[in-house]
């Protein structure tokens, strides 16, 4: 059974194609349901998240934010053109959508007041996952192209969200947390801080003793993608026992991603016969 879906007006940007794959915003409740089913398979079946009775019964990862968010989808057109073809997803929540619910998702883990105080449009990213058979560089690049198109369309200045490190063993995660804190801590005007009751210190090891190459190799691809865009992390990590992850708050100023997107399409306009 699908749930009500009320996307904000003018959410989409058409579809961007790369071979048999395309990326666009979900258009129907059935497509959102397919994204929620994919999230369930990845988060609960693969990653060991702890399901409640409703989640187990529906085999869907759902919450109150889904009905107001925009859902970025990767479509494998070899499978079809609708819900049956959804192989990747990213949940996008603009300020207007968060106001409809009363808060951003990240506010359950972080004090995001510095971001809420920004006068420009902001965007929360979350619930990113890709089907196991489609975890290729090309699929991830297509997701980023979709985010870039969305950010450009809505003139987003800063995007943020809770990014996950696998597991909750702080001893295992100490090198990654310490590296992020030492080298990528957000400047104070943009720095979220984990809520006091959930705050886990990130500066767990002396950064001078870290093997930075090994740490970067261990970081999840999504987190590395944010860092390549000049992303920052907030102060403090949060243990998410439901999803069996340790979260860090990522903050990215969108100037770099939109510049890359604009240059890409300037090249396309200059070469109209080139394949997308």
Residues 6+ apart with CB under 8 A from 25: 7, 11, 12, 13, 70, 71, 72, 73, 150
Residues of the chain with pLDDT under 50: 1-3, 265-276
Q: What's the pLDDT score for residue 13?
A: 81
Residue 77: CB atoms within 10 A of its CB come to: 13
pLDDT tens profile 67-89: 999 999 999 999 999 999 999 99
Using only C-alpha atoms, what is the Rg of the chain? 18
* Tokens coding 175: 């090198």
pTM for this model (two decimals): 0.89
Distance CA 95, CA 160 (A): 12
pLDDT digits (tens, 9 = 90+) for 160-188: 999 999 999 999 999 999 999 999 999 99
CA dihedral 242, 247, 251, 256 (to 10 degrees): -100
- Strands 16-18 vs 158-166: parallel, antiparallel or unpaired: unpaired
Residue 271: predicted pLDDT: 40
Quote the pLDDT of residue 261.
56
* Backbone φ and ψ of 224, nearest 5°: -60, -35
């Amino acid at each position: 059974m699908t749930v009500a879906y009320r996307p904000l007006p003018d959410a989409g940007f058409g579809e961007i194609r790369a071979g048999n794959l395309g990326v666009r915003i979900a258009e129907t409740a059935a497509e959102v349901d397919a994204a929620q089913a994919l999230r369930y398979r990845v988060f609960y079946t693969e990653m060991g998240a702890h399901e409640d009775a409703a989640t187990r019964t529906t085999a869907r990862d759902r919450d109150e934010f889904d009905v107001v968010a925009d859902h970025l989808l990767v479509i494998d057109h070899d499978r079809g053109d609708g819900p049956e073809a959804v192989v990747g997803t990213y949940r996008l929540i603009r300020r207007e959508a968060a106001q409809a619910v009363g808060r951003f998702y990240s506010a359950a883990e972080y004090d995001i007041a510095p971001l809420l105080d920004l006068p420009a449009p902001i965007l929360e990213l979350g619930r990113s996952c890709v089907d196991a058979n489609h975890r290729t560089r090309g699929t991830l690049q297509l997701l980023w192209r979709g985010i870039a198109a969305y950010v450009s369309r809505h003139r987003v200045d800063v995007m943020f969200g809770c990014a996950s490190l696998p597991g909750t063993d702080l001893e295992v995660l100490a090198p990654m947390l310490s590296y992020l804190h030492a080298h990528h801590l957000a400047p104070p005007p943009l720095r979220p801080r984990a809520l006091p009751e959930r705050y886990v210190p990130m500066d767990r090891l002396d950064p001078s003793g870290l093997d930075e190459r090994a740490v970067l190799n261990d970081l999840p691809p999504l987190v590395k993608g944010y860092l390549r865009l000049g992303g920052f992390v907030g102060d403090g990590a949060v243990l998410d026992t439901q999803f069996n992850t340790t979260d860090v708050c990522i903050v990215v100023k969108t100037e770099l991603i939109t510049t890359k997107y604009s240059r890409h399409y300037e090249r396309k306009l200059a070469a109209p016969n080139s394949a997308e």
